Amino acid sequence: MKADGITHPALLEQVALRDDCIDYHDVFRSLGASRKWTQVGPEPLQTTEIKAELELRGIDDHYERLKYLRIVRKLDRVELDYHFERLKKK
């Protein structure tokens, strides 16, 4: 958690996830394991990858898929911001 001396912003308040948020977090974590990296660092999660993950999980409702897409993208933005902020401090 603090191997580099920097605490991830999401851990600062360490609030437990609400039950209705766990599924979104699970999708995000699953996608993070296959994230593409370049010489510059991590790339944003691709919409096609999010869509494929939702298909694998049997999430078919159009509006529910849009909600997953929006939330996973927000989680991804926080993750990328954190990564690049750490790079700036080095």
Alpha-helical (H) ranges within the chain are: 22-32, 47-56, 62-89
Determine the pLDDT at residue 74.
95
Is residue 9 in a domain?
Answer: no
Is residue 33 in a domain?
Answer: yes
Residue 58's domain spans which residues?
A: 16-89
Is residue 43 in a domain?
Answer: yes
pLDDT > 50? residue 13: yes
pTM above the 0.85 mark? no
Is residue 7 in a domain?
Answer: no
pLDDT tens, residue by residue, 15-71 = 677 877 899 999 999 999 899 999 888 999 999 999 999 999 999 999 999 999 999
Determine the pLDDT at residue 88.
84
Give how many domains the chain has, as a whole number: 1
Average pLDDT over residues 78-85: 92
How far is Cα 27 from Cα 82, in angstroms, rounded to an integer?
A: 19
